[in-house]
């Protein structure tokens, strides 16, 4: 079951290139957000929002794992769909809980990330990924 979930689907060559560009581009953009959070956390700043009630530090660590760690996995195309689940969950929390009452312009970045992550979840990481090499 897990192997089937992680195994990339066969896509036409142009789509594989498009998925690679989207996967690396969106991950690179999210990596900058995660790196800033990681740097602040390692610098001793552990204050963070607690949108789902698990504690500020736990929320901070899970957000760093998703935004930084999962972005690296997605760039590599390693465990892509699992990494995407964490990123999708993070963006849903950001959009609907953290920025829930805010106007659309405050939710826009989160929505753009969410749409890209959902598209990648449906297509998989493509031929140019570690996942594709592992599941030949």
Residues in the chain: 136
Residue-wise pLDDT for 48-100, tens only, equals: 999 999 999 999 999 999 999 999 999 999 999 999 999 999 999 999 999 99
In a domain, 86, yes or no: yes
Q: Does the pLDDT of residue 7 top 90, yes or no?
A: no
**CB count, 10 Å around CB of 10?**
10
> How many domains, in total, are found in the chain?
1
Residue-wise pLDDT for 86-135, tens only, equals: 999 999 999 999 999 999 999 999 999 999 999 999 999 999 999 998 88
Structure confidence at residue 10 as a pLDDT band (50, 70, 90): confident
In a domain, 76, yes or no: yes
Distance CA 24, CA 19 (A): 8
Distances from the Cα of 10 to the Cα of 38, 46, 135, angstroms: 35, 43, 11
Structure confidence at residue 2 as a pLDDT band (50, 70, 90): low
Residues of the domain holding 22: 17-135
In a domain, 42, yes or no: yes
Distance CA 118, CA 87 (A): 10
Residue in the block written with tokens 């990123």: 87
In a domain, 2, yes or no: no
Which residues, 6+ apart, have CB-to-CB distance to 136 below 8 Å?
Answer: none
The kind and range of the H/E element at 125 are none
- Residue 106 is predicted with a pLDDT of 94
Structure confidence at residue 37 as a pLDDT band (50, 70, 90): very high
């Amino acid at each position: 079951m897990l192997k089937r979930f992680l195994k990339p689907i066969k896509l036409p060559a142009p789509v594989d290139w498009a998925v690679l560009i989207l996967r690396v581009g969106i991950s690179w953009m999210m990596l900058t957000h995660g790196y800033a959070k990681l740097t602040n956390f390692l610098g001793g700043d552990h204050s963070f929002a607690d949108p789902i009630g698990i504690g500020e530090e736990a929320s901070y660590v899970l957000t760093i794992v998703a935004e930084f760690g999962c972005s690296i996995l997605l760039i590599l195309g390693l465990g892509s769909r699992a990494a995407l689940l964490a990123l999708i969950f993070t963006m849903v929390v950001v959009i609907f809980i953290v920025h829930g009452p805010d106007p659309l312009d405050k939710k826009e970045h989160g929505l753009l990330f969410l749409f890209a992550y959902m598209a990648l979840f449906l297509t998989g990481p493509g031929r140019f990924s570690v996942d594709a090499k592992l599941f030949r």
